[in-house]
Amino acid sequence: MPEVENGLLRNDVYRRPLETALSRLGVSSGWRCVDVGAGNGDVSVALAQIVGRTGRIYSVDIDPLARDGVASRAAEFSQVVAITQAAEDLLLPEPVDLAFCRFLLMHVNDPATVIRRMAAATKPGGFVVIQEPITSAGRIDDTAFSMEGALHPDIGSLLPSLVWQSGLELVDCWAESQAWAGKGIVSGYLEHLTGVDPGDSPVILPPLVTAIGRVGEMVNGIRGEIPSTSTTEW
C-alpha cells in the first residue's frame, strides 16, 4: 500500500503480521538488520526497539528526506545507518542477519532483482522477509480494490515462487488481512488512504502476504542448503 503520513495508523492495521514474522524468527538484541524501502519508518523503528544498542539497523530508502526522518526516529533505540539507495542497487558495508521489505516490490521495476540483492546482503543462515499485498483481493461492499499507481499490485500472490526462485530456502509463508463494518481502525485507515469514507459498508483490506526465506551456505561460490547443524531452531 502507499505510504501513510500517520505511521501509527498503519502500525495498528498491519502491525500483527510484522510482529508475527519478527517473533517467528526470534529477532533479539544484537541483530544486524536492513529495512529496504524504509518509507515512513515504522519497520525500522520496530526493529530498532528489538535489537537495541548492541544491534544495528540499516535504513535504506531512495528518498533522502524519508531516510533521514526514519534514522532520527530509530536512533532513539539502536545504532542506525541511513543509506540513500535504490532497492535494485542494495549494497551494505557488512552482511546482516535480517533483510526486510514491506510494500516495496509492488512499486519496483524488477522485484526478482531486489530479492536477490537482499539475499546477497544477508549472511549465510540469515533471513529475508518480504511483505506484499494482493490488492485486488481487498473489498469494499464486495467491490474489488485497485491501485493504478502500483506496477505489481497483486505481487503478494507471487511471493512464494519469487522467494524460491531467488535461491532462498522458503521457510514460511502466510497471508493476513483485517475486515470490519462501520467505524473503526480499518475504515479509518481506508479513509485516510483514499479520502473515501466507506460508511457502514463491509471492508476487507488487501491480504498482506509474508514470505520468509533463509540464506544458504556458500560452497565454491554457490549457495546451498543450510546444514542440519545450524543453530537456528524452528
Q: Is the pLDDT of residue 164 over 50?
A: yes
Quickly tell me which residue has 533483510 as its cell. Answer: 99
| pLDDT band at 221; cut points 50, 70, 90 | very low
Enumerate the domain spans of the chain: 7-221
Residue scoring higher pLDDT (66 or 125): 125
Centre a 10 Å sphere on the Cβ of residue 172 and count the other Cβ atoms it contains. Answer: 17
Would you tell me which CATH number, out of the four given (3.40.640.10, 3.40.50.150, 3.40.718.10, 3.30.70.890), belongs to the domain 7-221?
3.40.50.150
DSSP assignment letter at 137: G
The band of 191, judged by pLDDT with boundaries at 50, 70 and 90, is confident
pLDDT in tens, 46-72: 999 999 999 999 999 998 777 677 778
Tell me the pLDDT tens digit for each residue of 180-189: 999 888 888 8
Average pLDDT for the chain:
86
What are 136-153's pLDDT values in tens digits?
999 999 999 888 889 999
23 burial (CB, 10 Å; 0-12 / 13-18 / 19+) is exposed
For strands 122-133 and 96-102, give the pairing: parallel
Q: Give backbone dihedrals phi and psi of 141, rounded to 5 degrees, phi first.
A: 50, 40
Cell of 74: 530509530
